[in-house]
Structure 1
Amino acid sequence: MPSTNAKYLFAFLLSLTLVTLRAQAPTESSLLWKIEGRNLSQPSYLYGTIHLICPNDFVLTDTLKGCLKQTEQLTLEIDMDDPGMMMAMMKGMAMQEGKQLKDLLDAKDYDRLNAYFKDSVGMSIAPFERAKPFMLMSVLLNRVLTCQPQSYEMSLMGLAKKQKVEVVGLETVEEQMAVFDSIPYADQAKMLVTLMDSLPQAREEFSKMVEVYKKQDIAGLYDMTLESVFELENQQEVLLTDRNKRWIPIIEKQVADKPTFIAVGAAHLGGEDGVIALLRRQGYSVSAIPGR
């Protein structure tokens, strides 16, 4: 049995560890961050995007454009400039082991989902029968918006092309698709039906999330993402934390090679296991840039 003193020492060391982890989690409100230190010859930059946003809420500031101009490489979650990306996505859409959507839902929910897609999306779910339910969720998420969404990733790619810098990714399409294979298809199907039944609440939640994003509150955005029944649904480790940890050595290699502008979903930046905190734990200085 450990002595009382040993127990107190362990508790003390644990508390110090937790304090250190929290200290490395970002508290500043900013979407744009400068990465320095660890013998980097030039700084790199980190930017938090939101994957769907209406044009009226879309902003690319001169500060952001100026930071991008100082870099020689644009890094996105996946290399969206890869001509083979669409083919890889098509190959990765299908569920493994011949699973079908009708196997994952009871007949009533399946019929309701099919009717909704015919009435509101203008298409049957038949072509998606073997697709991972998350693919159908992406179609429904577009119904959350009341506009034709604009993309930060596509806009940054356009600027990068004008600048004639390379576009690269932190993970391949196959790796991103494999993430969804780690979430049981039945759980994905349940989330799909939940989203269909809760679109008004989803619109309200997304509107609040956009407001938090516009305030550049990445800590608040991270918390909202964790609490959302439409976002992570108890899949924080798979969709955020594990991916963040896999990205860090790739980011380290990229920024050591050349000054890089890294743009990932803003939910990946916040928290004790977010990209910012993980880079700080590796000894980098990651500082907020005002004005986004």
Structure 2
Amino acid sequence: MTFVSLLKSSAGRITRVAAGTALGFGLTLSLLTAPGQALAQTAAPQAVLPAQGNGPALWVIRDADSTIYLFGTVHVLRPDTAWQTDRVDAALDSASRLILEVANPDDQAAAMPLIQQYGISPQTPLSTLLTADELAALDTAARTMGMTAAQLDPLRPWLAALTLSVAPMTRAGYDPRSGVDLLLKARMEAAGKPVDGFETLDEQIRLLAGFPETGQLDFLRSTLDDFEDATTELGRLVSAWADGDVAAINAVGVEPMRDASALMYQSLLVDRNVNWAGQIQTLLDGSGTVFIAVGAAHLAGEDSVQVQLAQRGVTVERVPN
């Protein structure tokens, strides 16, 4: 089953969470900022409201001389989302290093050349790929961001879809600057601690840009079809994440992708989870305490990072509430 099938069969669920939530793409923090608005590169850590329930889930891996924490994130949140817990604070404070999906999710200067290379295709504009009705819908959606269909015309379909995905989220109060990754990054940098990444912006962008054009087009069409209620699944996901309900994260963000597209599931989740598990196993050969924060979908389901580690003989334990 193709990327096309994923977007149609799952009723747009992937579109609703593609902007940096269930799929866990840290790059969206730099890509999906409103026009003319730059993310602060040196923002001071923001205060986070205490969690009202259990708080997000946290896992730990230990050996004789290493401690590694695993924490699932949501890359775009409302500023008033309550998720702070003492156990996460203690784990982060004890760590000498933070590892995110990408070390520089807020680095627009690094992202722009990659977008030019992989996301812009003036020789095949969207106006040659979409119907008149679809172009009208594109223009309507673009105008909610202060843009027009003509301004989006040179974009490849995958980038146009992701760009449009942020608009309804912004209207609903979601903000990449309130995303967990940027807050953790700012906090560690303020403490003078290094921040690294499992992947690079180049790797993430090339992965998205590498999907067939027909699939990218249906990604865009699905985004337009679900534009007005695009935050429904995101709200469910955030609620599940903030309460540490990993089963619900799996049901909302992982199973629809697995059931609808083996290709998408394998490429965006499984392959990356396997890669990260290998990197974590290498970290265990060293010593010290590391805090790892990746998209919440990577830590849920039958192919999660924890499952990949278990298959390597590495024990992962959930930290009690």
TM range (shorter): 0.7 to 0.9
Spell out the pairing of 1:100-139 with structure 2 (5 A cutoff).
100-118=125-143, 120-139=144-163
C-alpha distance in 2 between matches for 1:85 and 1:174 = 9
Partner of 1:12: none
Q: How does 1:181-200 map to 2 (within 5 A)?
A: 181-200=209-228
Counterpart CA distance in 2 for 1:240 and 1:170 is 14
Query: CA, structure 1 residues 199+124, in 2 after alignment: closer, same or farther (shift >3 Å)?
Result: closer
What is the aligned partner in structure 1 of residue 293 from structure 2? 263
- The residue aligned with 1:286 is 316
How far apart, CA to CA, are the structure 2 residues paired with 1:254 and 1:88? Answer: 31
Whether the 8 Å CA contact 1:104–1:186 is kept in 2: the answer is: no
Structure-2 change in CA distance of 1:55 and 1:81 (3 Å): closer
Structure 2 stretches of 5 or more lacking a match? 1-54
CA distance in 1, matches of 2:105, 2:250: 28
Question: Which SS does the other structure have where 1:56 is aligned?
Answer: coil
- 5 Å-filtered alignment, 1:144-159, equals 144-145=168-169, 146-149=172-175, 150-159=178-187
Letter in 2 for 1:270: A
RMSD in angstroms over aligned alpha carbons?
2.7
The equivalent residue for 2:115 is 90
- The alpha-carbon deviation at position 148 of structure 1 amounts to 4.3
Shift of 1:247: 1.9
2:187 & 2:215 partners in 1: Cα distance? 38
- Residues 188-224 of structure 1: CA deviation (Å, up to 9, x unaligned): 2212222222234432222222221222112321221
Instruction: Give deviations 1:143-184, integer Å, cap 9, x for gaps.
Output: 333114211011001111122111111111111112113322
Q: What's the CA shift string for 1:70-123, capped at 9, x where partnerless?
A: 1121111111178663345434542579543234322321232123212x2210
Between structure 1 and structure 2, the one with the greater Rg is 1
Question: Quick check: 1:224 aligned with 2:252?
Answer: yes
Query: For 1:117 and 1:199, how far apart are their aligned partners in 2?
Result: 11
Q: Structure 2: how far apart are the matches of 1:73 and 1:261?
A: 6
Paired residue type of 2:279: I
Structure that is richer in helix per residue: 1
**Contact preservation (8 Å) 2:118, 2:209:** no
Question: Which residue of 1 is the match for residue 265 of structure 2?
Answer: 236
> TM (normalized to structure 2)?
0.72
Identity of matched residues, % = 26
TM-score normalized with structure 1 length: 0.78
Kindly state the Cα deviation for residue 187 of structure 1 after the two structures are TM-superposed.
Answer: 1.5
Distance in 2, Cα, partners of 1:117 & 1:244: 34
